[in-house]
Amino acid sequence: MKRLRIAIDGPGGAGKSTIARRVARALGIAYLDTGAMYRAAGLAAARQGLEPQDEAEIEALLETLDLTVVFDEEGQDICLDGERLGDQIRTPEASRWASDISRLPACRHKMVALQRRLASGQDLVMDGRDIGSYVLPDAEIKIYLDASLEERARRRLKQERELDPQATLESVARDLAWRDRQDSERELAPLVCTPEHHRLDSTANTADETTAAVLAWIYSQYPERIRSDQETGGANGG
């Protein structure tokens, strides 16, 4: 069977991680959440009391950073210096740090090297903001998943209220718009939809509908993968 590496790119709140997990499960392959890696690096910097402008100190920290990805029955977790982080990287602060630290070339190079190494020996789904354009430019499938800012804010608000009951739709939308600008305007590997990406707008779709649309595109390019879906019970994993 042909090798299959799937890159799912797009802005925050578009549903990349949810859809990537479902697609990986349907196809019976690994899923790598690259955003979690940057969040972990940002958490490490925050724990050291650093600020985003402390570039020299952050670069020195990155040189010794012990960050590993663990795949298990639950999916993926990030280990920082041997500590499994779990939901510690899902706070608004971690999200802002992820955007700040990902702008630093030293951080980008370290994470991309790890991501490429993980993708070198297995089929997998990888989501982020520069996977198809920079991390895996030779990925067999490239999807750009988008949605309106209002819809992305509504989705993200549900997540953030579990950690911050005071979060509002306006504050979440403001943070997403800021992150969009940060990611699109950064000099190294900005968020971009390339001509090779298959663009999907998930604004009006449920997660099931978007998953089905992504799988339909993959199957149109790799029809032999339909067998994997049938064996694993479909997009919802049986």
Separation CA 51–CA 55 (nearest Å): 8
Range of the domain at 200: 5-35+104-229
Note the Cα 49 to chain centre separation in Å: 25
- What pTM, to 2 d.p., does this model score? 0.80
As a whole number, mean pLDDT of residues 184-189 equals 83
Tell me: the pLDDT tens digits for 105-151? 889 899 999 999 989 888 999 998 999 999 999 999 999 999 999 99
Note the Cα 125 to chain centre separation in Å: 10
Separation CA 154–CA 17 (nearest Å): 16
Calculate ∠ Cα 162-210-15, nearest 5°.
Answer: 35
Query: Is residue 50 included in any domain, yes or no?
Result: no
Query: Is residue 148 included in any domain, yes or no?
Result: yes
- Residue 115 has a pLDDT of 93
As a 3-state breakdown, the chain gives helix, strand, coil percent values, each rounded to 5, of 55, 15, 30
Query: Is residue 55 included in any domain, yes or no?
Result: no
| Tally of domains within the chain | 1
Query: Is residue 237 included in any domain, yes or no?
Result: no
Query: Is residue 65 included in any domain, yes or no?
Result: no
Backbone region of residue 192 per phi and psi (left: phi > 0; alpha: psi in -120 to 50; beta: other values): beta
- Residue 74 has a pLDDT of 64
| Cα end-to-end distance, the chain, whole Å | 23
**What CATH number is given to the structural domain containing 133?**
3.40.50.300
Separation CA 132–CA 119 (nearest Å): 13
Would you say 10 and 210 are in contact if contact means Cβ atoms under 8 Å apart?
no
Separation CA 31–CA 209 (nearest Å): 19
Backbone region of residue 153 per phi and psi (left: phi > 0; alpha: psi in -120 to 50; beta: other values): alpha
Query: Is residue 84 included in any domain, yes or no?
Result: no
Q: How confident is the model at residue 227 (pLDDT cuts 50, 70, 90)?
A: low
DSSP string covering 93-130, please?
HHHHHHHHHHTSHHHHHHHHHHHHHHHHTS-EEEEESS
Query: Is residue 99 included in any domain, yes or no?
Result: no
Residues contacting residue 232 through CB under 8 Å, at least 6 positions apart: 25, 26, 27, 28, 238
Query: Is residue 133 included in any domain, yes or no?
Result: yes
Question: Highest mean pLDDT: which of 91-100, 127-136, 185-194?
Answer: 127-136
Would you say 115 and 127 are in contact if contact means Cβ atoms under 8 Å apart?
no
